[in-house]
Copies of this chain bind each other. A is one copy, B any other.
Amino acid sequence: MRPIDALVHSLSEARVVTDPDVVASYARDRTFLEPGRPLAAVLAASREDVVTTLRWASEHRVPVVPRGAGTGLAGGSVAGDGAVILSLARMTAVRELSPADEIAVAEAGVITADLDRAAREHGLMYAPDPSSYEISTIGGNLATNAGGLRCVKYGVTRDSVLGLEVVLADGRVLNTGRRTMKGVTGYDLTGLFVGSEGTLGVITAATLRLRPAPDGPPATFAAEFGSLREAGAAVSAIMAAGCRPSLMELLDRATLEAIDDWRNIGLEPGTRAMLIGQSDAGDGQQAAVDRMGRICVEHGASFVAVAAGPEEAEELIGLRRLAYPAEERLGACLVEDVCVPRSALPDMITAIEAAGARHGVRVCTVAHAGDGNLHPVFIFGHGVAEPPAEVWAAADEVFTRALELGGTLTGEHGVGLLKRRWLAMESGPVAAEVQRGIKATLDPLGILNPGKAI
């Protein structure tokens, strides 16, 4: 009996896909990266299925590539030759939702927005909102410590996780963390597994923190600036003033041009950047956006619009939503993800523009400005499978400059496969050794998502 037959026998044929064409459909994420030829895909429906799969994989030393919905942007769930893909997408139970304690226990396959909707039935929300949240899973969000637009107020995924159920490489089940708001018993294993991209264990469920939901739609403003430095100063001033925006996005000139080409938004020739901000603070939110708008004017904004109601707000925030589709019209896209200290935002955007110009690559940048997290989108030929050399040359310059400015290679997308070649530049040898030591402790056979993350 081949090893894979033993797995099929243990789990049933309905759970294990071996048809190569079907398996291939589980082998990619949202990057251009080409998968290898994986052995099979397990469609786990329970923690026990995951335990069975990992015991089998340990016994036969088969690499396991866990995945949620495959919306990753760094190659973390791209499967290689001979691997078994372990999909958590069918583990969709919200095991518990306690309004009194403001917590939910969700399985890894729950769609993030579904959990948020379930919470809102009780006046609560699940705050983390990666752009993919209508299609990505909690498990994937946890594995990458996903960010999102509301991070600026509510933090990243890790900030909403209290505890985890994890299946270790050898099939043991580990429960980390707690159900309480605070707790310091033992090491922070919860934080360690969050963001470990499936290389230390397979997260099957999580105890998540919910928060009171805002009463109604947020208040919104937009501001245009003639220089990046003024826009950056306005962002810093808004944050320093304690305005607590629930969203603070910056669109650069190239992004605005891409949108204007498509939808004719009447872009002024002198506009170099647009800020779009929101407050969801209830009674105080209109005053908060008015104040943010005034701060923009004080810092040189050429134009400020504060939405009078939800419809006008939709128009303003709609510009932000148009950014990525407008860029996709122009060609294939490599979406990057550096993060810098907030004060370095204008320098970073300037460096991105210079790198693009130097290598003849069109780059559009949108930033979660309140967090200093920038997404430079490098655009290349339609239908070209992989970013050409000049895109990588420009990206290389961007990564180097981000690190020089005290920043990081990835603010929220993860390292996956795509960022590994730059990793040593950021982490240094001691951190690499420590991470490899932890990996070896938890996955001594090296079967969990090998070649990713660290």
Please report A residues at the B interface, Cβ cutoff 8 Å: 98-103, 123-124, 144-145, 147, 151, 156, 158-159, 168, 172-176, 178-189, 191-192, 194-196, 200, 212, 214, 236, 239-242, 282-284, 287, 339-344, 368, 370-373, 406-415, 419, 423, 426-428, 430-431, 433-435, 437-438, 440-442, 453-454
- In the bound assembly, the distance between CA atoms of A205 and B414 in angstroms comes to 26
The listed residue (B189, B239, B408) touching A183 by CB distance below 8 A is B408
Q: Which residues on the B side are within 8 Å of A427 (C-beta)?
A: 185-186
**A239 and B426: CB pair below 8 A?**
no
- In the bound assembly, the distance between CA atoms of A454 and B437 in angstroms comes to 19
The listed residue (B147, B182, B341) touching A179 by CB distance below 8 A is B341
**B341 and A98: CB pair below 8 A?**
yes
Q: Which residues on the B side are within 8 Å of A442 (C-beta)?
A: 434, 437
A228: shortest Cβ distance to chain B, in Å? 15
A180 touching B212 in the complex, CB below 8 Å, given contacts A99-B240, A430-B175: no
A442: shortest Cβ distance to chain B, in Å? 7
**B123 and A426: CB pair below 8 A?**
no
Would you mind naming 23 contact pairs between A and B with Cβ atoms under 8 Å apart? A99-B240, A147-B184, A172-B430, A174-B434, A175-B431, A176-B431, A179-B341, A180-B406, A181-B342, A183-B408, A184-B408, A184-B414, A188-B188, A188-B191, A188-B195, A189-B431, A189-B434, A212-B239, A212-B240, A214-B242, A434-B442, A438-B441, A440-B441
**B100 and A178: CB pair below 8 A?**
no
**A408 and B102: CB pair below 8 A?**
no
- In the bound assembly, the distance between CA atoms of A331 and B7 in angstroms comes to 64
A211: shortest Cβ distance to chain B, in Å? 8
- In the bound assembly, the distance between CA atoms of A265 and B186 in angstroms comes to 41
- In the bound assembly, the distance between CA atoms of A159 and B423 in angstroms comes to 25
**A426 and B173: CB pair below 8 A?**
no
Q: Which residues on the B side are within 8 Å of A341 (C-beta)?
A: 98, 100-101, 103, 179-180
Closest to A212 in B: B242
A181 touching B284 in the complex, CB below 8 Å, given contacts A188-B194, A191-B192, A194-B188: no
Closest 4 CB pairs of A and B: A191-B191, A100-B343, A212-B242, A183-B408
Closest to A439 in B: B187
A186 touching B342 in the complex, CB below 8 Å, given contacts A191-B192, A212-B239, A212-B241: no
- In the bound assembly, the distance between CA atoms of A81 and B120 in angstroms comes to 56
A182 touching B342 in the complex, CB below 8 Å, given contacts A159-B159, A187-B192: no
**B179 and A406: CB pair below 8 A?**
yes
**A423 and B283: CB pair below 8 A?**
no
Closest to A179 in B: B406
Q: Which residues on the B side are within 8 Å of A147 (C-beta)?
A: 182, 184
Q: Which residues on the B side are within 8 Å of A172 (C-beta)?
A: 430, 433
A208: shortest Cβ distance to chain B, in Å? 13
Q: Which residues on the B side are within 8 Å of A415 (C-beta)?
A: 184-186
Most B C-beta atoms less than 10 A away, residue of A185, A191, A426: A185
- In the bound assembly, the distance between CA atoms of A282 and B291 in angstroms comes to 14
A406: shortest Cβ distance to chain B, in Å? 4
A175 touching B242 in the complex, CB below 8 Å, given contacts A184-B144, A184-B195, A191-B191: no
- In the bound assembly, the distance between CA atoms of A440 and B410 in angstroms comes to 30
- In the bound assembly, the distance between CA atoms of A58 and B423 in angstroms comes to 30
**B186 and A453: CB pair below 8 A?**
yes
- In the bound assembly, the distance between CA atoms of A441 and B343 in angstroms comes to 38
- In the bound assembly, the distance between CA atoms of A442 and B440 in angstroms comes to 12
**A187 and B196: CB pair below 8 A?**
yes
**B184 and A412: CB pair below 8 A?**
yes
- In the bound assembly, the distance between CA atoms of A225 and B337 in angstroms comes to 52
A402: shortest Cβ distance to chain B, in Å? 9
The listed residue (B184, B407, B412, B413) touching A145 by CB distance below 8 A is B184
Most B C-beta atoms less than 10 A away, residue of A174, A179, A182, A407: A182
Closest to A407 in B: B180
The listed residue (B124, B342, B423) touching A185 by CB distance below 8 A is B423
Most B C-beta atoms less than 10 A away, residue of A214, A413, A427, A428: A427
